Amino acid sequence: MTSVGAAMDVRFGVSVEQFVEYVTELGLSHVELKREYLHGHPDAPSPAELGTIADRYGVSVTYHAPFRDWNMGSFNDAVREASVDQVKQTLDDAAAAGAGAVVVHGGAVPHRYPSWVREKAAENARRSLRECAEYAQFVGVPLCLENQPVSDEKQRCTTTPDDLESSLRAANVLPEYLGVTLDVGHAKVSGYHWRDFVDRFGDRIQVCHLHDNDGTADDHEPLTDYGQIVDAVPADYFVFETKSVADVARCLGVDEDDIETPPTRFG
């Protein structure tokens, strides 16, 4: 059954239960928990508590593995290993919370570094993904590799359909445990249409991130024309990724005055 919902961001001054209450009032049925939010919020729930909240409100859950301070494609082996541990811990928590998937980024390395550094980083990214995907199979929660946006500063591993497919193939793990997160905003800013990824990966897409930009920067603006995407992408979970709580309502075209629990309550 397809679920449409929203992701919690570390910038949101709101508890998980308040956010779940808010999105369900908007008619949504899914919440994605970014690890950065769980690390940063003083009242972040445990996986068991999150599962209880999800059951109470009848929503499905996905997790997003950490990426701000972690890099599975680091050429520093200690950082790579620590990043893999962070993803594995996220998979453990997702299993405990009854979550449907864990979203993960593929890694990056600065463009300015010499070729031998970039080659090692690429190999480390493939190794890390393989280790994490094998662990996903062990715990029974799918890991979903996200297409990343292009960057002037960093060489990212999954900005194109070809690179994303190469990463998936190198991991050599059953597709049901290593799927795809299609991020339509990342595709757009990287010069691709989201349908390019659908044509390539089809049913392997389990999660779809919804946000918009003008094609020049990964701005995560509200996406209002999302219906055609939900109809065309064979994902299980569709997630609005916005910069503010209020932007979730804007994606849906809802007037904040009509919301019983307005986003201004959350700061």
Q: Is the pLDDT of residue 255 over 90?
A: no
Please report, for residues 194, 212, 213, 242, the alpha-carbon distance to residue 183 in angstroms, rounded to integers and kept in the order given.
Answer: 8, 10, 12, 12
Q: Quote the pLDDT of residue 257.
A: 65
**pLDDT the model gives residue 70:** 87
Contact by Cβ (8 Å): 20, 261: no
pLDDT average, residue stretch 152-158: 94
pLDDT digits (tens, 9 = 90+) for 8-43: 988 888 899 999 999 999 999 999 999 888 888 888
pLDDT per residue as tens digits for the range 159-183? 999 999 999 999 888 889 999 999 9
* Residue 259 scores a pLDDT above 80: no
Q: What is the pLDDT of residue 13?
A: 84
Report d(CA 128, CA 108) in Å as an integer.
Answer: 12
In the chain, what percentage of residues exceed pLDDT 90? 82
Confidence of residue 262 (pLDDT cuts 50, 70, 90): very low
Q: For position 67, what pLDDT does the model report? A: 87
Alpha helices (H) in 34-189, listed in sequence order: 35-40, 47-57, 77-97, 115-139, 161-171, 184-189
pLDDT per residue as tens digits for the range 57-105: 999 999 999 988 888 999 999 999 999 999 999 999 999 999 999 999 9
Residues 127-135, mean pLDDT to the nearest whole number: 96
Instruction: In the chain, count H helices and then E strands.
Output: 10, 10
| Residue 264 pLDDT | 45
* 208-230 per-position pLDDT tens digit: 999 999 999 999 999 999 999 99
**Does the pLDDT of residue 236 top 70, yes or no?**
yes
Per-residue confidence (pLDDT) for residue 43, from 0 to 100: 87
Distance CA 76, CA 124 (A): 9
pLDDT at residue 266 tops 70: no
The CATH code of the domain at 3-266 is: 3.20.20.150
How confident is the prediction for the chain on average, in pLDDT? 93
| CA-based nearest residue to 125, from 102, 148, 142, 141 | 148
Confidence band for 258, pLDDT divided at 50, 70 and 90: low
